[in-house]
Copies of this chain bind each other. A is one copy, B any other.
Amino acid sequence: MAVDFLRNRPPPAVRSGEFCEDGVVASTKRLTARSRAARDSGGSGRRAELLAIAGELFAIRGFLATTVRDIADAAGILSGSLYHHFDSKESMVDEILREFLDAQRETNEQVLREASDPRAAIIELIRRSFGAMRQYRAAIAIFQNESKYLGGFERFGYLQQAAEDFERVWTRVLQDGRSAGVFREDLDPKVTYRFIRDMVWTAVHWYDPSGTLTADGIADQYIKILCGGIVLRE
C-alpha cells in the first residue's frame, strides 16, 4: 500500500484550492501556447520552448519530483530527445536560473542608479520584483524552492552569490534610509531586509497571472503595509 506512494504521482490535475495556490500552475495547453510564443519571439526556437516547459514543471512539482520523462511528455517527445538540446536535467535549471538572475541583477543596478532617495528606491525595487513575476514566474519559484538543494552543488554556487548580492543591495538602501531618517531606527535592517524579501518572493507561490489580482495591485498593497503597517494610525 505504502509502496508506490512516491511514484504514483497524482494526476497532474491542477488543484484550484488556496492550499496549493499555484500561480505557477500551467496546463499543457497553456504551455504549448507559451512555447509557440517563445519561438515566435525569436528565442533559440525549440530550445527556448523546451526550457519553458521544463521551467513550469520544475516550478510546479519541484526539481526532484520532475522527471525528464515528465518534461519530454509535456513536450511531446521522448526523454532521450531532450539530450539533443541539453546536456542534462541540471543544465536546464541552470539556464533557467541564470537568465533570471542576470536580468534581476541588471534591474537592481538600474533602480539604484535612478532612484532619487531610499524610500523611492525600496518602493521601486518591490514594484520591479513583483513585475518580474510576469516574465520569470517559474524561475522565481525555482530559485526559492530549490536554492537550498541546488546550492549544495558546486555548479550552483552562483545561487548563493546572487542571494548575497541581493541582500547587499537591499540592505544598503535600508541602511541609507535609516541614516537619512526615512526609516524607523528601531528596526534591524537585516531583519527588515529578510522581511521584505520573503514578502516579495513568497507571493510567487500564490500569484495567479490570470486571476483578478494584478502584480501591480499586490505590490501596491504590500507597499502600503510596509509604509504604514496594517494598523490604523491612532
What is A's interface to B at a CB cutoff of 8 Å?
1-10, 15, 17-20, 22, 60-62, 64-65, 87-91, 119, 145, 147-149, 151-155, 159-161, 163-164, 167, 174, 181-184, 186-188, 191-192, 194-195, 198-199, 202-203, 205-206, 213, 218, 221-222, 224-233
Of the listed residues A91, A192, A195, A224, the one surrounded by the most CB atoms of chain B closer than 10 A to its CB is A195
Given known contacts A5-B90, A194-B203, A198-B199, is B221 in contact with A226 (CB within 8 Å)? no
Q: Taking A2-B7, A17-B160 as given, write out 4 further A-B residue pairs in contact, using a Cβ cutoff of 8 Å, ordered by the A residue number.
A: A4-B4, A8-B153, A18-B163, A183-B231
B5 engages A155 (CB within 8 Å): yes
**CB-based closest 6 A-B pairs:** A2-B88, A19-B160, A198-B202, A19-B163, A10-B152, A64-B64
Q: How many Å lie between the Cα of A192 and that of B194 in the bound state?
A: 18
Q: Can you pick out 10 interface pairs between chain A and chain B where the beta carbons lie within 8 Å of each other?
A: A1-B8, A5-B89, A5-B153, A17-B164, A18-B164, A19-B160, A183-B230, A191-B213, A191-B218, A195-B199
B198 engages A20 (CB within 8 Å): no
CB distance from A125 to the nearest CB of B (A): 13
CB distance from A8 to the nearest CB of B (A): 6
Q: What is the count of identical protomers in the complex?
A: 4
Q: How many Å lie between the Cα of A102 and that of B141 in the bound state?
A: 29
CB distance from A184 to the nearest CB of B (A): 5
B225 engages A228 (CB within 8 Å): no
Q: Which of chain B's residues have a CB closer than 8 A to the CB of A148?
A: 20, 22, 60-62, 205
Q: How many Å lie between the Cα of A198 and that of B203 in the bound state?
A: 8
Query: Considering only CB atoms, which chain B residue lies closest to A168 in the complex?
Result: B18
Q: How many Å lie between the Cα of A203 and that of B229 in the bound state?
A: 19
CB distance from A20 to the nearest CB of B (A): 6
B164 engages A232 (CB within 8 Å): no
A184 engages B228 (CB within 8 Å): yes
B2 engages A3 (CB within 8 Å): no
B225 engages A226 (CB within 8 Å): yes
Of the listed residues A5, A87, A149, A153, the one surrounded by the most CB atoms of chain B closer than 10 A to its CB is A5
B151 engages A19 (CB within 8 Å): yes
